[in-house]
Structure 1
Amino acid sequence: MWRVLIIDDDFQVLEGMKKSIPWERLEAEWVGEAMDGQEGLQKVKETSPDIVITDIYMPVMNGLEMIEQLKQDGFSGEIIILSGYSDFQYARQALRLQVSDYLSKPVTMDELGGVLERVIHELEMKEAERLEQAETRRRLMMYEPFVQKEWLKTVVTGTQERAITEESMTPMKQGAWLSQKHLIMGIELMGTNRVMNVSLTDWSLYRFAVANIIREVLEQDWPRSEFIELHSHHAAIVFHIPLAQSDADACARIREIGKHITACTFTYLKLSIRTGMGSVQTDWKQLSDSTEEAFLDLLQQTLTEDQGTRLTKPDVVEPDFTIRPIKFYQELAEAIVYAKEEETLAIVDAYLEQLRQMPSVTPAYLQYLCSELWTILAYSLYSTGVVLDDLFPGMRAGQEIAKIQSIGELREWLKNKIVGISSQRGWSEQSKHKEAIDFMIQYAHEHYAEDIVLEDLSKQLYLSRNYLNRMFKKAMGETFTNYMIRVRLEKAKVLLAEGKYMIYEIAEKIGYKNVAYFSAIFKKQYGMNPSELGKK
């Protein structure tokens, strides 16, 4: 209801308007009255009206003086002047004070009703605009972390074609990025049996568990850093290095941090990762050079699953650094995730054309590249709920890849596979709501300690709760509620392994106020009580 305050020193005018204005039709209500400007100011403070109807000539303080004071006080409502004085001087003053309308007495109720209708319509438009702006701000704030994450990804991989400017940073980031040196560490989650044979939801949990451990190590060992997930099984860390620190000292320390991350990941998750390092860059806009070097370092390694020994394979070394494979991998992964067949084929063609210009491309490198691309296709589709092996039943990818001897053969093989993938109806369907699913997963892992209700997420994503739940279950193989429980319990396992917290403290940290309930669902999931696992 729109709130209307009437100010006039004529009691009969006050009573007449109170009785004659079609309040219900206008969806408005009378909230008070006053008989002079001074009293009117007080009533405005007490009632916070949306519309003030006022006379000009009144005792103590006239209407124009009152309006001027209201404007100085920041009153944002609408003002209608209803006066027996039609003097041009008064009208000019009213115009200067930006009143909504100026009516001369006597006025019919039809005239006043028409003016009120127009003013209320303007108020409705303003309110709709205000709500829209508030919603836009809310959504921007909600998506700000995701926007910044995408910005970081483009800087790290070099996938942003237009010039990246300092204005695209948040003020908080500018200090770290503009006044320090930078180095990239590439991270690869090894494709062991433990990783390759898991469900989509378990794969999602592994990714976030690895990310959490890496962030905890970084917070302890090198807080001036940022972690970002890249394509499929790859991620990167940006290390910000003080200008006064020598490159050699920084690289030595960062190398030790890489060992710490590898050890913690295996200790807590029994997952194997390996790391590669790029060079120090003084200009953050050249950071993608360090990224390419870091993943070239990874390319030159093989990791034996039991000992972690590094070996170099000269016949598989990247033929030329200038063609930037990491940028290509990232663009390919994004095109696959969002079901863009033509873009996927164009990205492959452009990269292979660059490769064709290189003089030293060996069959061994082409087979390695094909294997990498097949892995990226598999992981990218997997993240949308599509299993690549299901699309090509009975295919022996390793044997087919081993037969590739030329760039032309590689292109033909990839093209056939991409066309085969795109012909599957499930690809585009699963990709349709990939962003919503990603948001839900990210939200679960960042807010597991809170009371998360699917209804709240549905409002943020503008999708119904039931539809959102069905969509999540179809993509992930389980309901969001069950996924949330598993996220919390996986975090509990990590906290138990640290051995620093009591059971009730762990329950609180993962969002359970009832310790008995936490213990019950933990035992149901893992077959033992939290205290029993903590002793192992």
Structure 2
Amino acid sequence: MYQALLVDDEYMILAGLQKIINWGDFQISIVGTASNGKEALDFVEKNSIDIVITDVTMPLLSGIDFVYEARKRGYHFKFIILSGYQEFEYAQKSLQLGAASYLLKPINKKELEHSLNKIIKELKEEQRFEQTNQFVIGQLLYQWLQGEDVLFELQNKLGSQRQLNGNAFTVLCVQLNQPIEPEKWEEWAEKQAFYYTIATGSEEAYLIIRSTEREEIKAVIHYLIERTVKDMTFFVGQPAFSKETVPESFASIKEMRARSSFYQQSEKINWYSDDKQTQEETDKQIGAINKSILSRDVSQIRLDLKQFSLGLEKNKVLPEFARWQTYMILINGYLIFDSLNSPSFKEATQAVFSSKTFRELKTLIEEKTLPTHALSKRLMYGELTRQAIDVIQQDYQQDLKLKKVAADLHINAMYLGQVFKKDTGKSFSHYLNEYRIDLAKELLIQTNEPISNIAYQVGYQNQGYFYKIFKQYLQHSPREYREHFRKEISTNAVYIDEEKAVDNDFL
């Protein structure tokens, strides 16, 4: 039986995990539970553990910090991360540590069973191969690539003949259409002076080449092509000029593969390129779009959105970054032209974060970023109403009154109020408050500004009145809204496909 430890600071979650499935069907015995990372670390030090299922956010020591500390002390086990938040940072850290899965609460029984099946399969395969020294070396190499502190142990296993000498390394990922026997990799590694580790199914290998020179890397690639199936794909990571930065070369490959899958474009040999300039270019495009949105120039917005999607495709921006930037544009578009409470906003948000390919995201950028229904409705407003709305959107921070706006527009205040309500279905003051509250919602979501500052920024001089109006419109206080909506955003913010977890499924 495999021994498992459950870790969560919520008693009901721990109790539910023990009952959600029949653990015996998976040859797993729950040998312990812990309510925080420190308790879990103490338990692991005293007991042999094969599998850990741990929450992320806990008192004393988080789930991720617990796993990291356990790794540092030499304890190795398979683990699944649980979280109520789908935060990119949490998911990224857990995957870097080698998580088998990142599951969201409430736990889906089928997803848990799928993850456990995957873990059991890995454990059985490891048991079959761990007696061979080459397997141990491969495992240590993979852990090293993931940033674990195993370099000393790895050097000992490699022996004096194959020490990690020098300060120039490049990680190379080789994708195959059919598996290659480990003995072959060992033979080629010895002849070509590289180290290797084989990932899931033996159809994917990571090579650590002791050079950063392109010609020397090409020589290794050509050597492999000549001796294996011709249909191979290579991803060459960023150069590493010390042993400590080799994991960064590995991480860059994971990003390259994510781009390749998302943009559905891949060369036979894919070389790393620095994307700092790309990010600066994207930031400029985002700024131009937001400027157009604020000016409410619909034709210019659509032109800018097209340029934005072309820039994403040209620069192969990371999928997560592309989705997130699209989402930020989406928020600004709906704040100006519609509402964040609009059903179409939530529908568009889900579509953005569930997009699997750039083609899907591009369609969303060009067709869903702007709320067309709200735009069409606004274009139907009369000239006076549009002028009044423009005043609201430009001068919302001031003490706006219908009488003053009417005077500025040289029109009778009562008449303007009647026309405005007929067009929008809302009084002037109601529309103004709703617009201010929408702006406040954006600041609550996207910044850590004190609520008193936010109230002032959106035009409320009296914080108490701001609280009253906010709760009247949303049935939540600003603080409650910030906490609730951030959770809702995080649920949509990161989608982790099984394919992305392949790099962590070491056999």
* Superposition TM-score tier, normalisation by shorter sequence: under 0.3
TM-score with structure 1 setting the length: 0.25
TM-score with structure 2 setting the length: 0.26
**Highest RCO, 1 vs 2 (Cα 8 Å, sep ≥ 6):** 2
